Structure 1
Amino acid sequence: EALKKIQDKQRELTQERSEASSKLKDLAATRTELGNKKKEVQGKLAEAQRLLNSLTAAEKAALDAEQARASRASADRVQLGNSAPASGRAGAAFSAAQSKIGSPYVYGATGPSSYDCSGLTSWAYAQAGVGIPRTSQAQANAGTRIYSQSQLQVGDLVIFYGDLHHVGLYAGNGQVLHAPRTGTVVRYESINNMPFQFGVRI
């Protein structure tokens, strides 16, 4: 009986060792894959930086002027209609974000002079006295999801792309107020310019 128990325990331990070994292999593969992706992203960033560095001063000035013109034009053209905000807090958050139109996009920035996409939305809601998570992926789970664009109200978070890596604030009339990407500023843009996933009502 004692020998049988020992043999059973040995079988269990062998099985657990086998499972642990398999998990370690999976983790090693994942680590390698993440390392390769990191290298790929760093390579693309370095290439983009090389391209920027290769521009002459005149070309850089022209590029900056074009970006500024596009941002001004988007602010001038936008017709927001008279959609009501989702709530008093959402309205306050949206007003705070509006006050930052023209502020530069800086990756990882959370204000008060520059922002990335989720930095802007988390800062705006903080001005309304509401704490929401810092990243777009976490903000996607911070409230009630709204899958129909027709149900969106001013101040709702709007999540874009399949991996949920971009977020803005719904501005009404099919427009989003957001911090788009490096080289741009906080501005309005059509919700249809990006792959809409869903809204989130805080």
Structure 2
Amino acid sequence: MQIRRLLLVLTLALSGIQATHADEPMQQMAMGMANSESPSSGDTGSDYVSAAEQLVDQALAYLGVRYRFGGTSPETGLDCSGLVLNVFRNAIGFDLPRTAAEMSRLGDKIGRQELKPGDLVFFNTMRRAFSHVGIYLGDGKFVHAPSTGGKVRVEALSSSYWSKRFNGARRLIDEDSGSTADSFAAIR
């Protein structure tokens, strides 16, 4: 199993491959990616690792779902924030606001160098801050629903397009408890 995860990470890193439903074996390998990028036990609690793994696994389950502007259903299509809200709801039972801009106000602001699996990454893709959101997977990769004609896919933060448009990141999972409750107290 470790070899399969390593092969996926290497494949993604070297070729920038984008998984789709037609690539079921690749998707199944990707499902285990969270375990290969888990924070060390000295850095965070096991609840955080578990919540992060659940988020990453859930996000990767949507690979290949078609993009649909305003979409909130995997059956009919997802937009970027629709993907993120589905992942958080289904993985850890938390309902997020509907838009990327609203999501950008939640949790703890973190720097690019501090990113961990499960963190939200934001981009300026429509000439306004926080107009696009994805979920960080680890190893410099994130999953997102790109744009009309696209499908949910994995991309590199370091690519020229995404690097230029990176707006910031937010951590919604409390590292000590794995809970989201404290992070959202300010907006309720």
Measured against the shorter chain, the TM-score band is: 0.5 to 0.7
> Which residue of structure 1 lines up, in the alignment, with residue 106 of structure 2?
142
- Structure 2 distance, partners of 1:137, 1:73, is 28
Q: Does 1:201 align with 2:171?
A: yes
Within 5 Å, give how 1:1-202 maps onto structure 2. Answer: 73-75=17-19, 82-84=36-38, 87=48, 88-113=50-75, 114-127=77-90, 128-147=92-111, 149-161=112-124, 162-192=128-158, 193-194=161-162, 195-202=165-172
Give TM-score, length-normalised by structure 1.
Answer: 0.58
CA contact (8 A) 1:91 1:154 kept: yes
Higher relative contact order (CA 8 A, sep 6+): 2
Q: Which consecutive unaligned segments of at least 5 residues does structure 2 have?
A: 1-15, 20-25, 173-188
CA contact (8 A) 2:129 2:167 kept: no
CA contact (8 A) 1:125 1:132 kept: yes
Give TM-score, length-normalised by structure 2.
Answer: 0.62
- Structure 1 distance, partners of 2:147, 2:170, is 21
Could you say which structure has the larger radius of gyration? 1
For 2:129, the aligned partner's letter is D
> SS in structure 2 opposite 1:188?
strand
Q: Percent identity at matched positions? A: 33
CA contact (8 A) 2:80 2:146 kept: yes
> SS in structure 1 opposite 2:168?
strand
Q: CA deviation at 1:132?
A: 1.3
What do you get for the CA RMSD once the two structures are aligned?
2.3
- Structure 2 distance, partners of 1:123, 1:90, is 15
| Higher relative helix content | 1
1:68-119 deviations in whole A, cap 9, x for unaligned? Answer: xxxx93236x996832268233321221111110000000011232200000
After superposing on structure 2, the runs of 4+ consecutive aligned residues of structure 1 that deviate more than 4 Å are 78-81
